[in-house]
Copies of this chain bind each other. A is one copy, B any other.
């Protein structure tokens, strides 16, 4: 009967360790942009916020360092990872290559059930584009890519792909309504689905890479527009175009 409390508090909050809950909370806040890049994370302050002591906070921060979401500054505490435009482009490119890799394997290995599920999912996105429902499209997009990861039937690769994707989510989150990127995104998804349906993994792979690189190119344009050719050495709060 006490399980009702668990549901009431939140999704999966009290099940695990305190340090895990703090880590997950911080991950969400960084990915969502609530914690902007470069902002300092003081241990005592976080401990007060979460009603815990510094020990689990420290553990959570150390784990985030390994994940690459925060950086240590000597003995001056940790800050939300402050990435250079070059590094962001590197991450986008890596993400593009990883996604392309997954599409290729997924095309060759997905079961008919998985394929039909993916097709159905893709078709459902048309209504979101028509309604210009960016939130719904964002959620769909995440599921779409995760289905492809899963269809590789390689759980390790799926985890790696999801990790890279998670690290970029902070940049993808905001400013979805940038130009007509969503409609183009859907068109590109359509071309990818075409190749998958034909069982042409290499074509699907190339199209997925182009799909992701289109977002990166739009990002580059956006950065140049906003900061000029030689902008600030680091950014982290800028909205990015949707893939």
**Interface residues in chain A, defined as those with a beta carbon under 8 Å from any beta carbon in chain B:** 19, 55, 58-59, 62-63, 65-67, 87, 90-91, 93-94, 97-98, 101, 105, 154-157, 160, 164
Contacts and interface: CB of A to CB of B under 8 A. Distances in A.
Contacts of A155: 87, 90
23 contacts: A19-B62, A55-B55, A58-B59, A59-B62, A63-B65, A63-B66, A66-B66, A87-B155, A87-B156, A90-B154, A90-B155, A90-B156, A90-B157, A91-B156, A93-B156, A93-B157, A94-B156, A94-B157, A94-B160, A97-B101, A98-B101, A101-B101, A160-B164
A97 B94 CA distance: 12
A153 to B, nearest CB: 9
Contacts of A157: 90, 93-94, 97
A107 to B, nearest CB: 14
Chain copies in the assembly? 2
A235 to B, nearest CB: 16
Nearest to A101: B97
Contacts of A105: 97
A29 B160 CA distance: 24
Given A90-B157, A93-B156, A160-B160, 15 more contacts: A19-B62, A58-B59, A62-B62, A62-B63, A63-B63, A66-B67, A87-B155, A87-B156, A90-B154, A90-B155, A90-B156, A91-B156, A94-B156, A94-B157, A98-B101
Contacts of A91: 156
A57 to B, nearest CB: 12
A23 to B, nearest CB: 9
